[in-house]
Structure 1
Amino acid sequence: MGVNGIIQSNKDEYIGFLAKLVQTDTQVIGHGVLGGKEKAGQEIIKQKLLDLDFEIDEFLVEDEKIKKYPGANLGHDNRDRPNIVGTLKGMGGGKSLILNGHIDTMPYGEQEKWSHDPFLGQVQGDVLYGLGSTDMKASLAAMIMAAQTIKALGYKLKGDLIIQSVVDEEGGGNGTLACVERGYRADAAIVGEPTQLNIQPAHMGFLFHEIVVEGQSLHSSQLWEGVNAIDKAIKIYQALKDLEHRWLMTERHPLLPGPTINLGEIKGGIAGSVVPGSCSLKTCLHYQPKQSETYEQTRDRVNREVLETIERVTKGDEWLDKHPPKVNVYQEGYPFETPISHPLIHEMERIIGEVLDKEAVIEGMPAGCDARLLAGFGNIPTIILGCGDPKQCHCVNESVPVFQFLSLIEIYVQFIISWCGVESID
């Protein structure tokens, strides 16, 4: 029986495994700062990997070990939130592969807005509903079911297969960062974020800035005697939008959109009758990778342009020149890019063409994910490939198409066999 035959004959079991993961609460709390409930899901992952003869490495994220990496999100409550990494040792002579997926989900929000239980984990029509189904338990389950399918085929791999079920991705990626710090490397990696089975070899970097502007407060009836901090902050924001416009006109990437700066939060003032004495802006900037620069060089150049833009506004304003705004980066992540000429991408194109009987789509991810950590700090050629529509992430009534889930299992199986190599067939 071939790969597709085994998947079809075992599809109820495979869907049941995914359903069990979705029915298990693995929410992060306060973006991971206050902890998370991942352990219950990790116990399921651990047992299944043990059943498939994987060697298990179970470990917690430790701030002291990851703090050396730019963009590490320190100060999270890591207690009782283990990473589970399973390694299926190859017979030798093949290439190694990391399959990376996160077990944590965002909170479901207001339950009354859901048309069903967020932990339903049941199929209706050809769709499985539940929190985390797309983001990204379906792809994580597909990785493990691919390993089970390979075992059912009687194949023995030449190269090592490493499956990483990580925590705290929704809190910024500390789980994967801990895997990199622990020394996990491979000849290639696949991150299973939802891509609708498209290949994504690049994603944007991001920088979150907080800009705090000082004013001079007094009663609004004499506002000319004060300094309106919101007015001054708006001048800075308008200059940043001009920078964004220049970038959109000059920065090009074949797979990614242009750079953007979003003003996501503004706080200032206490009442309409009071000239505001302070104002803070929080922005999120997305920027592209450049193959002519390291990820760190690109990040530093982009950040420098932001700071220079703010400085020009400051120098051109008498009040701001004497009371310069305070600017800091409070969260960030590098971009990443694997050249489309890399054998990893060529081989995945071929596999997808055979499994889906259509040409593979190669595109970029406009957001960011843990691929940046494997590629940037682990120096591992990486792509993003998973099932589900990314528009289903972090929304009510989250769901994933069952046919995509089953197709992804077959894609992973065929790629593992091709990439890692086969030693023998029982």
Structure 2
Amino acid sequence: MPSVEQTIAERVEARSDRIVETLRALVSFPSIVKSNPAEAGPGERDCQLYLQKRLTALGFTTDLWDPDGPALHAKYQGRPGANKGRTFEGRPNLGGTLKGSGGGRSIMLTGHIDVVPPGAAEHWTTDPFEPVLKNGFLHGRGTVDMKGGVACMLMAVEILKELDIPLSGDIVFTTVVDEEIGGMGSLAMVDRGFRADAGIMTEPTANQIAPLCHGILWGRIIIDGIGGHAELTPNAWYTSGPVDAVQLCRQMLDGIDILNRRWMFDPKKNHPLMDLPNQIIVTQMNAGEHPSSMAGRAEIVIDAQYLPSEKDEFGLGGKVKREIEEHVFNVCQADPYLRKHPARVEWILDADCAEVPADNPFVEVFQQAVEKANLSPVLSGFGAHSDIGLPTGLGNTPTVNFGPGDPAQAHQPNERVSVRDLVDCTKAIALAIEHWCR
């Protein structure tokens, strides 16, 4: 007689078509997150309604609600996930609970259904919201980040139900919005009371267990020069100008490079599970007013990373903000104009991070399940930000990242995930649920 593990593994393999069709359905909803968080993406509600229907059919008690952004901000101001200006009309969260027989450990499966815009159509070889299966890969926006993971966690539960596997612990299932612009959806989910003894967030990790993610800071370095005619001989910078803000930007960019080189060798900026040290990445630049005028103003937008060991007393990146602000100030001291007119930093976003220790009981159980699914149990770090800090810290649900797909595919045109990855991920999650909740 085959073991329970063999039975689960064989059924998952047999249901590969169903896994793919589930992901096809999810990708077909254009649940695009808008840059203005007060606007609903065109497919966010429809995607959640689809998932709610699937959960209800499995016996889950479900809760679909539009979070109250202003009330959450007032309640958690200054804490992780509390972003000002969020409204959620037409942008619902979904949660559900499937009760076990009692006395067992519970598990939460969680992910986000919002996706970033697809970008220029000419960069895609397929329609981003009409998923295409070719050469063993499903193509479409969100296949990796992260509807692939959502499909796997849903199918893991469905297959356990098909097999009538007895579980003592509850399964909690949550899908949120707003992850791509700050994580307030996950804050709303935890505030709603969804929690468990352990959790899996199915962000793409190439099917490696990642009990660690970065925190991220988005900031805007503002440099004020003095506009003037570009072709005429300027007066001295320290008198009446003009002062070229583009030139000042070059000096600031050099200063950022210096700090990044310092961070490369700073033990506080490195972690054994992370491939790269923390770094400050320049993601946008805006400067100038007219083709024949020197730029009177410039902005450098940065994405800076921090580790859980660097969190401040509020669980955020306040210490790293101050470190960057001090460095910007010091860069300004090297220039006679910037000494008198220093650049300033405005912070846009602070998204928290978390780490679940390797000796946590769930991590050990999950490693065993992953190994039984013929995957590597070696732990890795998730180099980008994910929402695991909110259920882990605020919700007391130690949560790890684990999901299908190459994370480098996230946000790219022609995003794709392999069917093999989807099947292996579903198998590992189903085995983890059976081991943990039995």
Provide the TM-score with structure 2 as the length reference. 0.89
Q: Secondary structure at the match of 2:180?
A: coil
| Residue equivalent to 1:43 | 49
The offset of 1:273, in angstroms, is: 4.2
The offset of 1:39, in angstroms, is: 1.0
CA–CA distance in 2 between the matches of 1:83 and 1:141? Answer: 16
Q: Secondary structure at the match of 2:67?
A: coil
The 5 A counterparts of 1:183-194 are 183-194=193-204
Q: Does 1:262 align with 2:262?
A: no
Which 4+ stretches in 1 moved above 6 angstroms? Answer: none
Q: CA, structure 1 residues 262+33, in 2 after alignment: closer, same or farther (shift >3 Å)?
A: farther
Q: Which moved more, 1:7-16 or 1:241-250?
A: 7-16
State the percentage of identical aligned residues.
Answer: 32
Q: Secondary structure at the match of 1:196?
A: coil
The offset of 1:114, in angstroms, is: 2.2
Query: What amino acid is the match of 2:360?
Result: H
CA contact (8 A) 2:31 2:114 kept: yes
| Residue equivalent to 1:340 | 358
Query: What amino acid is the match of 1:331?
Result: L
The 5 A counterparts of 1:9-28 are 9-28=14-33
Q: Does 1:373 align with 2:390?
A: yes
Q: Secondary structure at the match of 1:165?
A: strand
Match of 2:262 among 243, 246, 253: 246
The offset of 1:397, in angstroms, is: 2.1
Count of residues in Structure 1 that have an aligned counterpart in Structure 2: 419
CA–CA distance in 2 between the matches of 1:311 and 1:174? Answer: 32
| Residue equivalent to 1:65 | 71
CA–CA distance in 1 between the matches of 2:413 and 2:339? Answer: 47
The offset of 1:87, in angstroms, is: 0.5
CA contact (8 A) 2:140 2:415 kept: yes
Q: CA, structure 1 residues 239+395, in 2 after alignment: closer, same or farther (shift >3 Å)?
A: closer
Match of 1:156 among 144, 161, 166: 166
Q: Does 1:307 align with 2:325?
A: yes
| Residue equivalent to 1:424 | none
Q: Secondary structure at the match of 1:337?
A: coil
| Residue equivalent to 2:150 | 140
Q: Secondary structure at the match of 1:264?
A: strand
Q: CA, structure 1 residues 32+179, in 2 after alignment: closer, same or farther (shift >3 Å)?
A: same
Q: Does 1:95 align with 2:105?
A: yes
CA contact (8 A) 1:31 1:171 kept: no
| Residue equivalent to 2:417 | 400
The offset of 1:143, in angstroms, is: 1.0
Gaps of 5+ in 1: 422-426
Q: Does 1:168 align with 2:172?
A: no
Provide the TM-score with structure 1 as the length reference. 0.91
- The RMSD of aligned alpha carbons is 2.2
The offset of 1:297, in angstroms, is: 6.3
Q: Secondary structure at the match of 2:166?
A: strand
CA contact (8 A) 2:224 2:343 kept: yes
CA contact (8 A) 1:90 1:158 kept: yes
CA–CA distance in 2 between the matches of 1:372 and 1:392? Answer: 23
| Residue equivalent to 2:434 | 417
Q: CA, structure 1 residues 243+157, in 2 after alignment: closer, same or farther (shift >3 Å)?
A: same
Q: Which moved more, 1:187-196 or 1:271-280?
A: 271-280
